[in-house]
Amino acid sequence: MKKKNTAKEKNIAVSVDNLHITYRGLKKTSIRASWKKIAQKVEVFEALKGVSFEIEEGKILGIIGQNGAGKSTMLRAIAGIFSPDKGTINLHGNSISLLSIGVGFNKKLTGKENIYLSGMLLGFSEDEIAKKEKEIIDFADIGDFIHKPVKTYSSGMYSKLAFAITAILETDIMLIDEVLSVGDAKFQEKSYNKMKELISDEHRTVIIVSHSLGTIKELCDEVIWLEKGEIVMKGSASEVIPKYEEFMSA
C-alpha cells in the first residue's frame, strides 16, 4: 500500500548529512591488572561512517542490512537519543516518534502512567493524551496489566503498548524498528493494518527498519541498504532488494 507525493515542490522531512557515530568501550581486563592500575585500552567501533540522505515529506523509507550494519543506531540518532560525533540531522520542524522495543518506557511505572510519560515526551499535553487514553488502552488490549508496572510485562505486551501509543498519538515522522514482527499473530495483523492506515496520510513520513523484505517491498517507496555503517545502495525496493538478496546469498 504505497502512496505518492502529489505536491509540485519537494518538501524535505528529514535531512541527514555526513553522519558519524562512534561507540567507545574499555577492553576486558583481569582483576589483577585492575589492581595494578594497568592502563586499559579503549575499543572504538564506528557504527555510522559519513551517512547522508534526505527523505521527502510523505515518503516511506525502508532501511535494510545485516545485524550490526547501523540500522537501529540510525533511527536512534534521528530520534535524538544518540548525538552525532560528526554531521547533522535536520527534522525541519517536524514532530517525531520512535517505536522500538526496549526504548522509551520507565519500567517502574504502570502501563497507564507510561502512556502519559511517553505522550508528554512526544510533545503532547496531558489533556491531549487524556482524550486518546481509552483508544490507546483498547488497541493495546493487555487487560489489567495496563495498571501494573511495565517491568512485569512480556515482550509481547510491551510491544503492544508501545505500538498503541505511537500509532494513536500520531506524529509527523514515525520511526519503526522491527516492531511489526513482534507479538502474537493476531496483534501482528492488527498492527500491520494500522500501520498501512497511518501511512496513507500523504503528509506523514515513515522510516522502517526490518529484516522482513516482504514488509519493505509492500510498504516502502525507497530503500537504503546499510553495510558496516555505510550506504551501499539507495533506490526503489525493486532496485535495492534484489541486489541485497544476491549479496546475502553469495
* pLDDT tens, position by position, 50-70: 999 999 999 999 999 999 999
The whole-angstrom separation of Cα 244 and Cα 226 is: 10
pLDDT digits (tens, 9 = 90+) for 179-208: 666 567 788 788 778 877 877 778 889 999
The whole-angstrom separation of Cα 209 and Cα 211 is: 7
The whole-angstrom separation of Cα 175 and Cα 79 is: 8
The whole-angstrom separation of Cα 174 and Cα 122 is: 11
208, 176 Cβ separation under 8 angstroms:
yes
Q: Is 60 exceeded by the pLDDT of residue 137?
A: yes
Q: DSSP assignment of 234-248, as one string?
A: EE-HHHHHHHHHHHH
To the nearest whole number, what is the mean pLDDT of the chain?
A: 86
The whole-angstrom separation of Cα 81 and Cα 22 is: 14
DSSP state of 30: -
Q: Is 70 exceeded by the pLDDT of residue 112?
A: yes
Q: Is 80 exceeded by the pLDDT of residue 222?
A: yes
Q: What is the pLDDT of residue 102?
A: 57
pLDDT digits (tens, 9 = 90+) for 72-86: 999 999 999 899 999
Q: Indicate the pTM of the whole model.
A: 0.79
